[in-house]
């Protein structure tokens, strides 16, 4: 009974509480104030919608001061206002909420003062504040840090940057960054710690980063470039590991700034020096192991050498890639023995599946036709991948001189063993028109005009036309070459010319033409055959002229056979490779001129240090008059001048007959040695030192028995109008009346 009574009392209490809750809720609902509308006031440039987009209070919501406080902060955080406040207009149908804003001024002009090391343009390119933007203090402070960073990159580590705001009318302002650059901070000392095998002086010489020197005002010595310093750390590490110190470690440099100086500390842990131990190959072999291991060079090293190991990895990778295994993995396992101080190396080879060229795509050629590019490739679709033939293809495309850049991008094909190769070329202008004039030792004052197109109609054809007239010569020439006749690598060309030249002892007026063909014989080697026809008229012969000068009309009909090997990296201003040629010319197929001439030429180009190039050039020839025919003076050999033995007058080196008249040689040799160095690399201006030697001989007359030689210097500029040359040659052993040498100038090709 007592339990029932208790239950009834509890139920009654719950009902009373529930009624009280409902009554309170209804009363609260009747007292709640709603938001009638939300407005923005005093904004001039910034739209209402842009401001209200960040607020949560909306018309119809319950009015809450806590919510409005959050909205107030959200509007201020937009960074566009100096002041934001909120007001509420109360009414029976709800409160109107008004956000009252004071906009920040807009920036009319950004100024920099005190900057010398960095000009206004460079600073403007790096700051992210612009005219017309809203003045934001936080953004200004961030850009102050940006300006400081720019100065510190140039070693102005004591730079100070302030800002000044100049208020203007119409809510605008000028912003000025006031810069106090301070002195440039330079490296006082570089300390290397932990080195015992090599002294600090030797190690510092390997580094681009250096301490401040006497000529630091003229050079960049003592300046800190963090990228260069990081490369120096890699260089020091490589030096140790290439000299047996397999476990050598070079720590990150510790940099300390103190007043106007920088102090750098580099810590080295050399470790022991390891000799080379056993070298082995394991894995998938495509040739007998004994044959394959002959390509590994590291076993010939006395001490451990990291670079040689890397080169061996590349060599093995190329060997496999050239057989189609483009994805071969070569992993060198290096084992050090701390007791014997030796290193054993095992190259683990996984050849993976052979890869085929599924498709070769050409991109970027807007002018050059696809087939002109494809015919130069040594790789073909559906054939095995070959790294060497791919490299050669890229090299041959560059040698065409149609493209500024050639890039290859391999992609996976439709199957794992297929490759899609994208070849992307960047074309460059191949047509040239030039008009100008100048002076040369041979032609005196002259004017010239030429039009040439090396890629005529995008077909790879060569079209040339040139006119040159000067004090001693007038030349007109035309040439056309089709490098792939009938879509086979058979080149064909025609030439036509008319020339008038005044020699010292006679005048020659000639015209003629030629038909020529060429075909590849071997790698980098082409054979040529040429038929030429020339009609010359000789007059104004002086009394001191050579007896081999025949007055009147002469006809030369000749055929020439030649072979040319050319592996130079480019045709003009080459820096590596070589060019060799041999030519046999037979004249006498009709006409009154008849001779047999053999000439040979060789040229070698060696890349040296600091972008310099060494050049070795040699040339020689022999000519004999055919029976019953005439060998003209202009086909005999003379040396001297800018294209042979410099310092001597043009055609000055020649045999002399009993009357003291130069008669030209039937044999000659010529040697040239040059050291070429860049002066202004970007514009193609180079300087050179040279040594020349050569002579001509004949069966009759008197010849100087030895070689005539000279040495000198010069500059060359590969200008848009062609190579310009200014060179001074000194005769090393002048004969009586010869002089000491001469200046030479010309515009045209060089050997």
What is the C-alpha separation between 576 and 343, in angstroms, rounded?
37
What pLDDT sits at residue 478? 95
Are 113 and 99 a contacting pair, CB within 8 Å? no
CATH node for 106-180: 3.10.20.310
The secondary structure of 701-714, three-state, reads CECCCCCEEEEEEE
What per-residue string of b and e applies to 273-299 under the rule 16 or more CB within 10 Å gives b?
Answer: bbebbebebeeeebeeeeebbeebebe
Q: Which of 103, 110, 82, 123 is CA-nearest to residue 175?
A: 110
Helix (H, G, I), strand (E, B) or coil at 79: coil
Q: pTM above 0.75?
A: no
Q: Residue 484 in contact with residue 376, Cβ under 8 Å?
A: no
Extract long-range pairs of 570-573: CB within 8 Å, 24+ residues apart.
Answer: 570/398, 570/399, 570/401, 571/399, 571/401, 572/718, 572/723, 573/684, 573/686, 573/718, 573/723
Q: Which CATH number fits domain 356-427: 3.10.20.310, 3.40.1050.10, 3.30.1280.10, 3.30.56.10?
A: 3.10.20.310
The rounded percent of the chain whose pLDDT value lies above 90 is 55
Q: What angle do CA 28, 31, 33 make, to 5 degrees?
A: 115
Residue 474, burial from CB neighbour count under 10 angstroms (0-12, 13-18, 19+): middle
Strand partners, 531: 515, 559
Question: How many Cβ atoms from other residues are within 10 Å of residue 50's Cβ?
Answer: 13
H or E stretch at 257:
strand 254-258
Rounded Cα distance between 261 and 257, Å, is 6
The strand pairing partners of 440, in sequence order, are 444
Cross-sheet strand order for the sheet of 81-89: 35-41, 95-103, 81-89
The CA distance from 130 to 120, in Å, is: 13
Tens of pLDDT, residue by residue over 29-39, are 445 789 889 99
| Tens of pLDDT, residues 398-427 | 988 899 899 999 999 999 899 999 999 999
Q: Angle formed by the axes of helices 306-322 and 226-241, to 10°? A: 90
Please tell me the predicted confidence (pLDDT) of residue 547.
Answer: 74
Q: How many CA atoms lie within 13 A of 545 on its CB side?
A: 20
Q: Residue 717: which of 692, 684, 682, 670 has the closest Cα?
A: 684
Tens-digit pLDDT profile for residues 257-277: 887 889 999 999 999 999 999
Secondary structure class of 33 (helix, strand, coil): coil
Over residues 496-525, the pLDDT tens digits come to: 999 888 777 788 899 999 999 999 998 899
The residues with which 661 forms a beta bridge, in sequence order, are none
Topology of domain 503-747, per CATH?
Porin (2.40.160)
The two structure tokens encoding residue 443? 């032609």
293 band by pLDDT with thresholds 50, 70 and 90: very high
Residue labelled with tokens 């992210």 = 128
Read off the DSSP letter of residue 271. Answer: -
Does residue 111 or residue 739 have the better pLDDT? Answer: 111
Give the lowest-confidence range in 75-79, 227-231, 381-385.
75-79
Dihedral pair phi/psi, residue 74, rounded to 5° = -65, -40
C-alpha to C-alpha distance for 555 and 559, rounded to whole angstroms: 14
State what percent of residues in the chain have pLDDT above 70: 91
Distance separating alpha carbons of residues 694 and 708, to the nearest angstrom: 5
Assess contact for 677 and 612: CB atoms under 8 A.
Answer: yes
Residue 550 or 31, more confident: 550
State the pLDDT confidence band at 14, using cuts at 50, 70 and 90.
low
10 band by pLDDT with thresholds 50, 70 and 90: very low
CA distance 112 to 205: 40
113 token code pair: 């003062």
CATH superfamily of 186-269: membrane protein fhac (3.10.20.310)
| Residue 646 vs residue 571, higher pLDDT | 646
CATH architecture, domain defined by 35-103: Roll (3.10)
DSSP 3-state of 81: strand
Q: Does residue 743 carry a pLDDT above 90?
A: no
Measured on CA atoms in the order 569, 573, 577, 579, is the torsion positive or negative?
positive
Boundaries of every domain in the chain: 1-31, 35-103, 106-180, 186-269, 275-350, 356-427, 503-747
- Say if CB 460 and CB 400 are below 8 A apart: yes
CB 750 within 8 A of CB 725: yes
Closest CA to 556 of 524, 600, 604, 597: 597
Kindly report which listed range (426-440, 472-486, 564-578) carries the lowest average pLDDT score: 426-440
- Output phi, psi for 696, to 5 deg: -125, 150
> What is the spatial distance between Cα 445 and Cα 169, in angstroms, rounded to a whole number?
68
Q: Which CATH architecture has domain 275-350?
A: Roll (3.10)
Written as six digits, the tokens of 74 are: 């959200």
Confidence of residue 431 (pLDDT cuts 50, 70, 90): confident
Kindly tell me if the per-residue pLDDT of 155 is higher than 90.
no
Same fold, 35-103 and 356-427: yes
Q: What DSSP designation does 252 have?
A: P
- Measure the CA–CA gap between 589 and 555, rounded to whole angstroms: 10
Contact 217, 241 (CB under 8 A): no
Residue position matching structure tokens 């009624």:
19
């Amino acid at each position: 009974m007592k339990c029932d009574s208790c239950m009834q009392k509890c139920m009654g209490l719950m009902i009373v509480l529930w009624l009280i809750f409902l009554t309170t809720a209804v009363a609260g609902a009747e007292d709640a104030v709603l938001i009638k509308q939300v407005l923005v006031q005093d904004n001039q440039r910034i739209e209402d919608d842009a401001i209200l987009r960040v607020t949560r209070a909306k018309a119809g919501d319950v009015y809450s001061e806590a919510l409005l406080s959050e909205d107030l902060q959200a509007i201020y955080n937009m960074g566009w206002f100096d002041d934001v406040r909120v007001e509420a207009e109360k009414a029976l149908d709800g409160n109107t909420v008004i956000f009252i804003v004071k906009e920040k001024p807009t920036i009319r002009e950004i100024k920099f003062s005190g900057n010398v090391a960095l000009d206004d343009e460079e600073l403007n390119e790096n700051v992210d504040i612009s005219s017309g933007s809203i003045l934001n203090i936080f953004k200004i402070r961030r850009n102050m840090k940006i300006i400081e960073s720019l100065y510190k990159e140039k070693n102005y580590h004591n730079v100070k940057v302030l800002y000044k705001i100049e208020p203007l009318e119409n809510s605008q302002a000028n912003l000025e960054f006031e810069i106090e650059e301070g002195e440039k901070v330079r490296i006082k000392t570089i300390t290397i710690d932990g080195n015992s095998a090599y002294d600090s002086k030797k190690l510092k010489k390997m580094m681009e980063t250096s301490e401040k020197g006497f000529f630091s005002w003229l050079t960049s010595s003592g300046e800190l470039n963090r990228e260069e310093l990081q490369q120096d750390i890699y260089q020091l590490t490589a030096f140790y590991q290439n000299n047996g110190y397999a476990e050598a470690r070079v720590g990150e440099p510790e940099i300390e700034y103190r007043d106007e100086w920088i102090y750098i500390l580099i810590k080295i842990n050399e470790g022991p020096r390891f000799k080379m131990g056993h070298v082995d190959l394991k894995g998938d072999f495509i040739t007998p192991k004994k044959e394959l291991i002959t390509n590994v060079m590291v076993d010939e090293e006395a001490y451990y050498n990291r670079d040689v190991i890397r080169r061996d990895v590349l060599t093995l990778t190329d060997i496999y890639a050239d057989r189609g295994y483009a994805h071969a993995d070569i992993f060198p396992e290096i084992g050090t023995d701390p007791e014997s101080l030796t290193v054993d190396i095992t190259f683990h080879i996984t050849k993976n599946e052979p890869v085929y060229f599924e498709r070769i795509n050409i991109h970027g050629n807007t002018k050059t036709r696809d087939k002109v590019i494809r015919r130069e490739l040594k790789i073909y679709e559906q054939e095995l991948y070959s790294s060497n033939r791919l490299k050669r293809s890229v090299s041959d495309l560059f040698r065409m001189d149609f493209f500024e850049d050639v890039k290859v991008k391999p992609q996976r094909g439709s199957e794992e063993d297929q490759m899609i190769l994208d070849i992307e070329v960047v074309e460059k202008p191949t047509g040239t028109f030039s008009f100008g004039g100048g002076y040369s030792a041979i032609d005196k004052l002259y004017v010239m005009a030429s039009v040439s197109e090396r890629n005529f109609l995008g077909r790879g054809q060569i079209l040339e036309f040139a006119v040159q007239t000067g004090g001693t010569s007038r030349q007109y020439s035309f040439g056309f070459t089709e490098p792939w006749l009938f879509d086979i690598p058979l080149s064909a060309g025609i030439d036509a010319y008319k020339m008038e030249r005044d020699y010292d002892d006679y005048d020659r007026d000639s015209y003629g033409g030629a038909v020529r063909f060429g075909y590849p014989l071997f790698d980098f080697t082409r054979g040529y055959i040429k038929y030429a026809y020339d009609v010359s008229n000789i007059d104004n012969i002086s009394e001191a002229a050579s007896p081999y000068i025949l007055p009147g009309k002469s006809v030369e009909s000749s055929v020439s056979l030649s072979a040319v090997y050319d592996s130079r990296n480019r045709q003009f201003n080459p820096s590596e490779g070589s060019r060799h040629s041999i030519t046999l010319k037979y004249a006498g197929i009709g006409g009154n001129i008849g001779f047999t001439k053999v000439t040979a030429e060789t040229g070698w180009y060696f890349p040296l240090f600091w972008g310099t190039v060494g050049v070795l050039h040699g040339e020689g020839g022999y000519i004999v008059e055919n029976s019953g025919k005439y060998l003209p003076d202009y086909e005999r050999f003379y040396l001297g001048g800018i294209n042979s033995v410099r310092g001597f007058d043009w055609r000055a080196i020649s045999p002399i007959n009993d009357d003291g008249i130069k008669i030209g040689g039937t044999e000659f040799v010529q040697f040239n040695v040059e050291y070429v160095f860049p002066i202004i690399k970007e514009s193609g201006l180079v300087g050179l030192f040279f040594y020349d030697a050569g002579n001509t001989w004949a069966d009759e007359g008197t010849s100087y028995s030895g070689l005539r030689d000279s040495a000198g210097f010069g500059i060359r500029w590969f200008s848009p109008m062609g190579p310009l040359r200014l060179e001074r040659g000194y005769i090393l052993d002048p004969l009586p009346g010869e002089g000491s040498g001469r200046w030479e100038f010309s515009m045209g090709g060089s050997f």
